[in-house]
Amino acid sequence: MADESSKSDTEKIEDDDWHLYANAGYGEAESQDPEFSVESDEDPEEEWFDGDDFYNQGTSIDWDSPPCPAPLGIAHVIKIGVCDFCLHRISGRKTKSQGFDGGVELRNEAYARDSELSRSERPEICPLCEDLFDDVGNIAERIIDSVDGIEFKTMQLGIHLPKDLLQSEDAIRTKHGSQGSRPLKTSFAQAIQNEMLLRSPNISFVKDYPDIMVTVDTLTLRVDTDVRPVFIYGRYEKLVRGIPQTRWPCRSCRGRGEGCESCEGTGLQYRESVQDIIGIPVKEILGASDTSFHGMGREDIDVRCLGSGRPFVLEIKNPRFRDFNPAEMEEKINSNDPEKVRVNSLKWCTKKDVSRVKETRSEKSYTIRFKIDNPISEQEAVESIGTLSGVTLEQETPKRVSHRRAAKTRKRKVSSISNVLVEEDEVQFSLRCEAGTYVKELVHSDEGRTSPSVSSVIERECVVLWLDVDEIHSD
């Protein structure tokens, strides 16, 4: 809505950020597709090994041995020095145990079949995983420590592995592992998840829309935790003038650094905003770092918003708590500064509601009061201003917003005009109009940029004194 200084151009809300982590392998540990494998950038016909990379007691390993689960295939991967975990995951054999223990079971069976195999010299490091599985317990502990004190129900786990390791593992596993054996990234993620569930059984691992996203860098064992935001829908009433809807950076320092002398170090042009009056109590309740405010349009700083209030969604970033009674939160907010801003109808929502709120174009009802340069009778005012009811306006971009709005002519319909009141040289009336109508310009015409206008039909200069949003008809 125009007179609300709103950025009426609807912002495109992107899908939730979780999909940006796809390359990190989020959710892959949940895949049970036996055909899944890590794609290699190498030519599929190129052999990663030439047959002379591994030796068993001075003898080159026979790379033409049958793949697992054949006994000779299992013996072969034992000879090249795979760890017990990798032996189990590429063997294609059913065992009583899983993971390391399952590999030990397979290794003992192979030794029983071939006593010479037990005397094979193993390399210092597993050629499939480079002994990553030895770090599973350490990584699980680091993840649990990183989320200590954070309330959540669902988690998404991503793994960063070196590309060369993925390529070499894929080459060996594809040729010598069983058909459908699970790739390294999937197996490693699953191993971490299993270890975490032993320590924190209430965690649910998901692919989409988690409460927390965790990435693990296997080179450094670094764990990065991203707490996903929560969203609250509601309506706000702005009961006083002089408060912007969202934070307004200082015109001098633009909110950079530690502020400036002009803003007294706050970085803000206005100390208060609807966003902070609502958001600060919510931040305290949920232990969050910050908020973002998404409103259904916005009103000018000098405009009140009354009635049932303006719909909004408050995005709460990095919350330590995610479960709180909206009714109690509403009471807390309304006790913060009840003479300035109040909220109602609070409820939890999702990021999709941000799009819904910002894209909804609702008619709005206003009351506006203005001063004229020449007195007018109430009858004349009622008759003249009433002619604008049902009219479609043509409004060029107002001068006051020309620095941030495209220069074009907009057509907006005035649905109705009522309650015309004249008090000496001041006139007041109510109207209902289409979303995006510049109501102040409807009155004073903005030097003819709005046509028709109140100024043109009463043939007088008009100066707007105040404007109130009476209702936003969004339901």
Q: Distance between CA 260 and CA 237 in Å, rounded?
A: 31
Determine the average pLDDT of the residues in 426-436.
96
Quick one: pLDDT at residue 53?
47
pLDDT of 120 over the 50 cut: yes
Please indicate, yes or no, if residue 93 is contained in any of the structural domains.
yes
pLDDT of 41 over the 50 cut: no
Quick one: pLDDT at residue 52?
39
Q: Any residues with CB less than 8 A from the CB of 372 and at least 6 apart, and which?
A: 425, 426, 427, 458, 460, 461, 462, 463
Quick one: pLDDT at residue 115?
87
Which residue in this structure is represented by tokens 């969202």? 246
SS3 label, residue 430? strand
Whether 222 and 233 map to the same domain: the answer is no
Identify whether the C-beta of residue 439 lies closer than 8 Å to the C-beta of residue 431.
yes
Which H or E run includes 217? strand 212-217
Quick one: pLDDT at residue 24?
47
Whether 61 and 100 map to the same domain: the answer is yes
pLDDT band at 407 (very low <50, low <70, confident <90, very high): confident
Please indicate, yes or no, if residue 270 is contained in any of the structural domains.
no
pLDDT of 17 over the 80 cut: no
pLDDT of 93 over the 50 cut: yes
Which residue in this structure is represented by tokens 């080459």? 171
Range of weakest confidence among 2-6, 263-267, 268-272: 2-6
Determine the average pLDDT of the residues in 350-370.
95
Pick 242 or 258 by higher pLDDT: 242
Please indicate, yes or no, if residue 28 is contained in any of the structural domains.
yes
Report how many domains make up the chain. Answer: 3
Whether 290 and 155 map to the same domain: the answer is no
Which H or E run includes 385? helix 378-386
Read off the tokens for 312: 């909004």
Whether 205 and 120 map to the same domain: the answer is yes
Read off the tokens for 370: 């203005």
DSSP summary character for residue 60: E
pLDDT in tens, 298-326: 999 999 999 999 999 999 999 999 999 99
Whether 395 and 341 map to the same domain: the answer is no
Q: Report CA dihedral (269, 274, 275, 276) to the nearest 10 degrees.
A: 70
Domain with 72, as residue range(s), is: 18-45+54-226
Whether 74 and 188 map to the same domain: the answer is yes
Pick 236 or 116 by higher pLDDT: 236
Q: Which of 261-265, 270-274, 447-451 has the highest mean pLDDT?
A: 447-451
Please indicate, yes or no, if residue 9 is contained in any of the structural domains.
no
Quick one: pLDDT at residue 121?
77
Q: Distance between CA 252 and CA 261 in Å, rounded?
A: 9
Quick one: pLDDT at residue 342?
97
pLDDT of 37 over the 60 cut: no
- The dihedrals phi and psi of 49, each to the nearest 5 degrees, come to -110, 150
Identify whether the C-beta of residue 353 lies closer than 8 Å to the C-beta of residue 294.
no
Whether 80 and 35 map to the same domain: the answer is yes
Identify whether the C-beta of residue 315 lies closer than 8 Å to the C-beta of residue 354.
yes
Please indicate, yes or no, if residue 41 is contained in any of the structural domains.
yes
Catalytic residue among 170, 300, 353, 468, which? 300
Whether 299 and 331 map to the same domain: the answer is yes
pLDDT in tens, 142-180: 999 999 999 999 999 999 999 999 999 999 999 999 998
Quick one: pLDDT at residue 258?
78
pLDDT in tens, 66-92: 999 999 999 999 999 999 999 999 999
pLDDT band at 31 (very low <50, low <70, confident <90, very high): very low
Q: Distance between CA 375 and CA 426 in Å, rounded?
A: 8
Whether 74 and 191 map to the same domain: the answer is yes
Whether 355 and 382 map to the same domain: the answer is no
Determine the average pLDDT of the residues in 1-22.
45
Please choose, from the candidates 79, 88, 200, 94, the residue with its C-alpha nearest in 3D space to the C-alpha of residue 147: 200
Quick one: pLDDT at residue 62?
54
- Does 300 participate in catalysis according to the annotation? yes
Determine the average pLDDT of the residues in 37-65.
45
Domain boundary among 359, 378, 413: 359
pLDDT of 123 over the 90 cut: no
Determine the average pLDDT of the residues in 32-45.
40
Q: DSSP assignment of 10-45, as one string?
A: PPPPPPPGGGGGGGGTTTGGG---TT--PPPSS-TT
Q: Which residues pair with 418 in a beta bridge?
A: 430
Quick one: pLDDT at residue 61?
52
Quick one: pLDDT at residue 64?
66
Read off the tokens for 307: 């009635």
Mean pLDDT across the chain: 87
pLDDT of 355 over the 90 cut: yes
Please indicate, yes or no, if residue 387 is contained in any of the structural domains.
yes
Judge residue 2's burial from the number of C-beta atoms within 10 Å of its C-beta, 0-12 exposed, 13-18 middle, 19 or more buried.
Answer: buried
pLDDT of 32 over the 50 cut: no
Domain boundary among 359, 377, 406: 359
pLDDT of 248 over the 90 cut: no
Domain boundary among 332, 359, 386: 359
Please indicate, yes or no, if residue 137 is contained in any of the structural domains.
yes
Quick one: pLDDT at residue 387?
96
pLDDT of 29 over the 80 cut: no
Q: Give the number of C-alpha atoms closer than 13 A to the C-alpha of residue 268, restricted to the C-beta side.
A: 13
Whether 392 and 456 map to the same domain: the answer is yes
Q: Distance between CA 47 and CA 209 in Å, rounded?
A: 40
Quick one: pLDDT at residue 254?
79
Please indicate, yes or no, if residue 150 is contained in any of the structural domains.
yes
Whether 350 and 285 map to the same domain: the answer is yes
